[in-house]
Amino acid sequence: MRLFAGTPFDRPPTCDRCGKLEAECKCPPLPAPRVPPESQTLWLVLEKRKKGKLVTLIRGLEGTAEQTAELLTLLKDTCGAGGTVQEDQLELQGNHLERVRVFLTRLGYRVKP
């Protein structure tokens, strides 16, 4: 007799959606929950780089890589500038603080300077 005989710990784990054993389950993974913009606070920073180049940084964004890339694309189109995702922040080439602030506020984000 095992220690947990007859208890849920004695039974192999099963999938909650299809009821099959986890090793046999073919259910697709659940999508990551979307964090609503109203519950996020973003910080805008203007940074000076080598040779006097200015970069607008957006910090504090939560969400998946796809959601971040989607927002970056919208910001690049709005500002007409290049940009990238670096670690946990978005970077836009040039000084676009006011445009980004207005755009993010319209989307529902709380923006701090």
User: What are the tokens at 46?
Assistant: 């203007």
Structural domains in the chain, CATH included, are 1-30 (no CATH), 37-112 (3.30.780.10)
Amino acid, res. 72 = L
Check if the beta carbon of residue 35 is closer than 8 Å to that of residue 62. yes
4 confidence band (pLDDT: 50, 70, 90): low
Mean pLDDT (the chain, rounded): 88
2-28 average pLDDT score? 77
pLDDT in tens, 51-101: 999 999 999 999 888 889 999 999 999 999 999 999 889 999 999 999 999
C-alpha closest to that of 109 among 49, 62, 50: 62
The first and second tokens of residue 7, run together, are: 């208890």
